[in-house]
Structure 1
Amino acid sequence: MSEFMWVVDVPVATIWTSPQSPRDIDYPGLTNPLHIELWYKILNHNLRLELSDKQLTQSQALLGEEVIIDNFEKEWAHIIAVNQPTRKDPRGYPGWIPIQQITQVEKNEWRTKQQVVVIKPQATLYNKDKQPLMKLSFATTLPFIKDSINLVEVKLPNAIGYLSKDDVTINRENLDIIDLGMQFIGLPYFWGGMSSYGYDCSGFTYSIHKAAGVIIPRDASDQIKQGKRISLKHISQGDLLFFQNKKGNVHHVGLYVGEGRMLHSPHTGKSLEIIKIDKTKYEQELCAVRRYLD
């Protein structure tokens, strides 16, 4: 008898704090098919700030990502994103997703040994007739079926799809997280963002590690509690830098890229950038270094 599991059925599903969190203007981000580019376009600076200031969103999950369903409430499901470790729940990241953005799949078809991972900022997904279906985000991971000269065939929640070999990998051993991260310089910050349409600080560091085959905690305050402790004098490219405010709370994380510089997604209104840490507020706030990849 087949066992089933729940997975995300849109390119990017936003995980909301409650079913009452979305505003009318957020509707394009709640649909299936999804209209995430339209949604981000119509959100001005103040509307984006509200996502964090009013704690409307928690995180995001990508197409095919596994979730546990705790309960349903009308058109919503309370889910746990099992591949996003957090102190909030030992099972994974909790929150609410519209029911229409998730679906069931057979476990034995989904949990395959070989997985295809998107390593470009976006990848076009094609149907069996090689017509474009949708764009997938960086770090989207789908079951591998077979490959041909130019394409890789992947399992989708309710169909079969095809991706260009130039946009994906099956073997993650030779991936460099700095090279992966550099692709996103200039990408606007998005609170709770876990996709290449916009990252928050820890969503960015989480996603580049995920693409390289390493799952780390979702939030900066949890990322600092794991990984290998590194002293400042032994810091190396690819290490994570953590920053705390005057109250001692960890509020930011960036990727060290060498020569006193970090690659990071700063805050709403700014874009992903490389900066020199010296003589900035980050120099004063730097509190720890962690290493997840040797």
Structure 2
Amino acid sequence: MKQFCQTCLAGLMSVFVMFGFSISEEVQAEETGQTAYVDVSVATLWSEPNETRPVDAPSIGNPVDMWEWTTGMSYEQKLWLVGNLQTQALYGQEVTILEEQGDWVKVAVHGQPTPKNDLGYPAWMPKSQLANDASFSTLKDIKEFAQVTDPTAWLFEDKHRSDKFKEISFNTRLPVVAETKDAILVATPSDGKKWMSPDAVSIYSSQEDIEKPDGQNLVDTGLKFLGLPYLWAGTSGFGFDCSGFTHTIFKAHGITIPRDSSVQATHGTPVERDDLQKGDLLFFAYNEGEGRVHHVGMYMGNGKMIHSPNTASTVEIIDVFESDYYSSEYAGARRYID
């Protein structure tokens, strides 16, 4: 009923505007078009503003505690997230602010292609989780970046890496300010410069500088996350959903593919089952593979697939065509590498 009332309210607002009535600031969602940067290790983006529960508190503040949030939920509480979350964005990732409503903003996450918005994946997040530091923006444009290659990694206050500041996710990209033999100095969206272990990152001058992967490279990256619990809408080393898993693996190798499985299934190059190679994406659809695509995994060779299956599971490897469920819903494959 609450969602219905919000929908009705949105319709009434449109009518009011059409006939010249004013709308209070508390109700009107202001369009901004400004860009900003994610200021927490992982920002979780919601379908609607102000729809969170007490158990979600660790995910909506600044800072966040992703492990406290994901491990603190029961199965039923995690299942509730289905449909209530849309996606996630990583520390330092750029977004465009589409609307503001109180303490919440609707943003489009850059680098997450979707038919929903040309700017990026649209959804709501707390305004407090964004920063707009001009110096960080400048460094993003002119500096090489450190990309996290471990499932998660720590930022430190000191170059000796003894004073922890923030745990960040795989595939997070931050501008490099300086390098020593034992530490990398990076810029952050609002907290100045921090230190990282050189063993936890790769450094690139641009996304185009990332070496193009072969299928085994993609598989090896996926294997880093075996056993990681599933998280609806997840795109980080703290938890993935099925398409967040494949999207993030490819992005880490310099290849941007659509965010959602249903759209991933319409891009790339179609591949016949007999021609499958490592790194190909396998899709599964309702109605014995003829309906809407609802799942994606990555082919590993020898009939095996690695994927992040559902709320009750973790990232796992299966014999995909030996599974009655997955073989019956197989809907084809796509290749995103040469």
TM-score range, shorter chain: over 0.9
- Aligned residue type for 1:208: I
Q: Which of 237, 254, 260 is equivalent to 2:297?
A: 254
The reply on whether 1:99 has 2:131 as its aligned counterpart is no
Contact 1:199 / 1:265 at 8 angstroms: preserved in 2?
Answer: yes
Report % sequence identity: 38
Q: What is the aligned partner in structure 2 of residue 148 from structure 1?
A: 180
- Give the 3 Å change call, closer, same or farther, for CA 233–112 of structure 1 in structure 2: farther
Contact 1:125 / 1:136 at 8 angstroms: preserved in 2?
Answer: yes
Alignment of 1:181-220 (within 5 A): 181-220=222-261
Quote the offset at 1:152 in angstroms: 1.6
- Aligned residue type for 1:96: W
- Aligned residue type for 2:291: G
Alignment of 1:1-294 (within 5 A): 5-52=35-82, 55-106=83-134, 107-112=137-142, 114-128=144-158, 130=161, 131-158=163-190, 159-171=192-204, 172-173=210-211, 176-246=217-287, 248-280=291-323, 281-294=325-338
Contact 2:151 / 2:225 at 8 angstroms: preserved in 1?
Answer: yes
Rg (Cα) greater in structure: 2
Give the secondary structure class of the aligned counterpart of 1:293.
coil
Contact 2:109 / 2:120 at 8 angstroms: preserved in 1?
Answer: yes
Larger CA deviation: 284-293 vs 202-211: 284-293
Instruction: Compute the RMSD of aligned alpha carbons.
Output: 1.5
Quote the offset at 1:113 in angstroms: 5.4
Contact 2:35 / 2:97 at 8 angstroms: preserved in 1?
Answer: no
CA distance, structure 2, for counterparts of residue 149 and residue 228 of structure 1: 42
Q: What is the aligned partner in structure 1 of residue 24 from structure 2?
A: none
Give the number of the structure with larger relative contact order, counting CA–CA contacts within 8 Å between residues 6 or more apart: 1
CA distance, structure 2, for counterparts of residue 228 and residue 40 of structure 1: 35
What 5-or-longer segments of structure 1 have no aligned partner? none
TM-score of the aligned structures, taking structure 2 as reference length: 0.82
Contact 1:86 / 1:222 at 8 angstroms: preserved in 2?
Answer: yes
CA distance, structure 2, for counterparts of residue 229 and residue 144 of structure 1: 38
- Aligned residue type for 1:144: V
What 5-or-longer segments of structure 2 have no aligned partner? 1-33, 205-209
Quote the offset at 1:111 in angstroms: 2.4
CA distance, structure 2, for counterparts of residue 111 and residue 251 of structure 1: 37
Quote the offset at 1:204 in angstroms: 0.3
Quote the offset at 1:137 in angstroms: 0.6
Contact 1:255 / 1:263 at 8 angstroms: preserved in 2?
Answer: yes
Higher helix share: 2
Quote the offset at 1:239 in angstroms: 0.8
Give the secondary structure class of the aligned counterpart of 2:61.
coil
- Aligned residue type for 2:202: T
Contact 2:143 / 2:177 at 8 angstroms: preserved in 1?
Answer: no
Higher strand share: 1
Contact 1:21 / 1:57 at 8 angstroms: preserved in 2?
Answer: no
CA distance, structure 2, for counterparts of residue 227 and residue 145 of structure 1: 36
Contact 2:232 / 2:240 at 8 angstroms: preserved in 1?
Answer: yes
Quote the offset at 1:39 in angstroms: 1.2
Contact 1:128 / 1:160 at 8 angstroms: preserved in 2?
Answer: no
